[in-house]
Amino acid sequence: MMTSPWLDIPLADYESHMSAPEVAQLRALSDLFAEGLGIRRPVSVAVMGIAGGNGLDRIDQAITTRVVGVDVNPHYLETVRSRYDRLPGLELHCVDIAAEAGACSIVLQLPGDPGQDVGATGIASIQKLKSHFSLIDPVVLCASLIERGFCLDREKRVMLPAGKGLWMGIFAKA
């Protein structure tokens, strides 16, 4: 079994590297995180690869009341726990996602009659979605996931009124 190289990198080294002028990613990532929080204003947020918790200080605790952090390095998580012990709803999980078996289930809407991607129910507010809606071809999705090391375990199609349908694919890490 291969171990993650992240287990051998001290957090101080990682944070020094990320904040070095020639890299300058630590502050940029914190700013992007804060911008995303400001735009979406989530009640809960998950941070994959939380490292030392960069950006958690930007959370508005009146809005975001649950923070889930995942990292492969348990020492990083100990630091997050001590740095942000007053952050309500903080959940930290030590997981090596790359080593997990990995599975996901995805449901896509299939096309119906041309121009009817958003159903014509007479509910006007829903029609505002038309300009923001796009269908994803299951064949393209499958190819993309296969390139990323997944295999299609099973699939199912369900037909709906107006000629539309739903496609479900269940994928497992190959």
Burial class (CB in 10 A: 0-12, 13-18, 19+), 61: exposed
Whether residues 93 and 109 fall in one domain: no
Report the alpha-carbon distance of residue 27 to residue 159 in Å, rounded.
Answer: 48
Indicate the residue among 68, 99, 130 that finishes a domain.
99
Strands 165-173, 103-110: pairing is antiparallel
Whether residues 22 and 50 fall in one domain: yes
Average pLDDT over residues 72-86: 97
Whether the predicted model's global pTM rises above the 0.75 cut: no
pLDDT of residue 36: 92
Whether residues 92 and 19 fall in one domain: yes
Whether residues 111 and 143 fall in one domain: yes
Instruction: Give how many domains the chain has, as a whole number.
Output: 2
Whether residues 54 and 78 fall in one domain: yes
pLDDT for 23 beyond 90: no
Residue closest to 161 by CA, chosen among 132, 107, 120: 120
Indicate the range of 90-104, 106-120, 151-165 predicted with least confidence: 106-120
Report the alpha-carbon distance of residue 174 to residue 110 in Å, rounded.
Answer: 26
pLDDT of residue 102: 81
